[in-house]
Structure 1
Amino acid sequence: MSSPEHEADIERQVIEELDTLSKVPQLGGVPGRLIGWADRLFIGLAVLALLGIAAAVLLQIAGRLFLPFSPAWTEELSRYLFIYMVALSSGAVIHRNRHVNVELFHHWLGPRGRALYQALVCLLVGAFAAIVLPYAWVYAENGGWQTSPTLKVSMLYIFFSTVVLFALVLVYSAIGFVEGLAALWCKPPAADREPSAWK
C-alpha cells in the first residue's frame, strides 16, 4: 500500500505533466507572499459565493417541497452569486494556469520557452482587459438606473462584477507577465534544464 504522501506526489506529478505552464516559477519573497494572500482571499470569497448558491438552491427546493410557497428571489440570488463567483476567481485561475486552453505544443517547450509563452499570453490577455475595463465601468454605471426584479437591489452592484472581473484579469496578467520575464532571465533548476531548449 502506498502512503498518502506518495499518492499526493504522484497526483502533483500528473498535474504538472498535464499542465506544463505550471512549471514556470512564481514570484517569491514578499511579493510572492502578498500574491498568495490575495489568491487565498479571492478564492475564499468565490467559495463563499458558491456556498451561497448552494444555500439558495436548497432553500428553493425546500420551499417547493415543504412550504406553501417557493421564494422567488432565490433563483435571482443564485444567478448573481454565480456571476460574482466567476469574477472573483478569475485572477487566481490565471495565476495558477487553470483556465481553459488548448495544449498543442506546450510539452515541446523548454523552461525558457514556457516562460516566454506565459509572458506573451499574459501580455495579450492583460492588454485586452485594459482595453475593456473602462467600458466595463460605463456598463456598471448604467445599472445605477435599474433595480433587480425580485431582490430590488441596484443593478450597479450586479453590473460591477464586470469591473471586478477585468480588473482582476488585468492585475493577474501583469503578475503572470512579470513571472514569465523573471523565469526567462533566471537560471532554471538543474532538474528542469533541457539543453536543446536553451539554445
Structure 2
Amino acid sequence: MIRTYSKFLDKLETVEKIFLGITVAVMIIVMVYQVVLRYCFSAANSWSEELARYLFIYDVMIAAAIATRRNSHLQIDLLINLLKPKVKSIFTIIATLVGIVFLMFLLNYSLTLCQTAANNISAGLKISMSIPYACMPIGIILMILTSFEVIFQNLLQIQELGKREVNDQ
C-alpha cells in the first residue's frame, strides 16, 4: 500500500516540479520585462509585479510540500542525529503528527480566507483575490499528503528496526 501511495506522490512531485520550473521561468521573464520598461522606457505597468508576487507565493507553497516529503524543513539536525534510529523515527512521527494538526487548523482558516476574498479583485491583474489566496489550501493539502508518507515510512523503519533487534538476540 505504501508503495502505491509513494508512486502516486512521485507522479505528483513530478507535476509540482514542472509547475515550479514553468512559474520560475515566467517570473524571470516578467521581472526582466518590468525592469526594462521601468528603467529603459520610464514606463511601468501594474500587473507584472503582482503576477511575479503571486507566482512566487505559489512556488513557496508547492516547494514546502516537496520539502515536507523530504523531511527537510527547518530542524536542529545536530540534536536529531544524536538520537538512536528508533527514537529518531518516533520523534519524526510525533513532530509530523503535530504538524498535520497545525496544517488542519491552517487549512480551515485558509479556506475561509479564500471564500471571503472571492469578491475582491486584484488591482493589477483584475482577478479574484481567491486565486492568489488559493495557494494556501493547495499547499497545505499537498503538505498533509506528503506528511502521511513520512509517517508511514518511519513506522516501517521502526518495524524493521524491531525485527533486527529480535534477530540479533
Bin of the TM-score, shorter chain as denominator length: 0.7 to 0.9
The Cα shift of 1:107 comes to: 1.6
Aligned to 1:70: 44
Aligned equivalents of 1:90, 1:107: Cα separation in 2: 22
Once the two structures are superposed, the pairs formed by residues 8-157 of structure 1 within 5 Å of their partners are: 29-67=3-41, 69-157=43-131
Sequence identity of aligned pairs in percent?
19
Aligned equivalents of 2:150, 2:136: Cα separation in 1: 21
Aligned to 1:6: none
TM-score by length of 2: 0.87
- Matched AA of 2:83: L
Q: Which runs of 5+ in 1 are unaligned?
A: 1-26
Contact (CA 8 Å) 2:9, 2:146: kept in 1 or not? no
Contact (CA 8 Å) 2:34, 2:45: kept in 1 or not? yes
TM-score by length of 1: 0.75
- Matched AA of 1:158: P
The correspondence for 2:136, drawn from 162, 165, 168, is 162
Q: How many residues align?
A: 167
The SS at the match of 2:118 is: helix
Q: Which runs of 5+ in 2 are unaligned?
A: none
The Cα shift of 1:46 comes to: 2.0
Q: Detail structure 1 runs of 4+ shifted over 4 Å in the superposition.
A: none
Say which is worse superposed, 77-86 or 57-66, in terms of deviation. Answer: 57-66
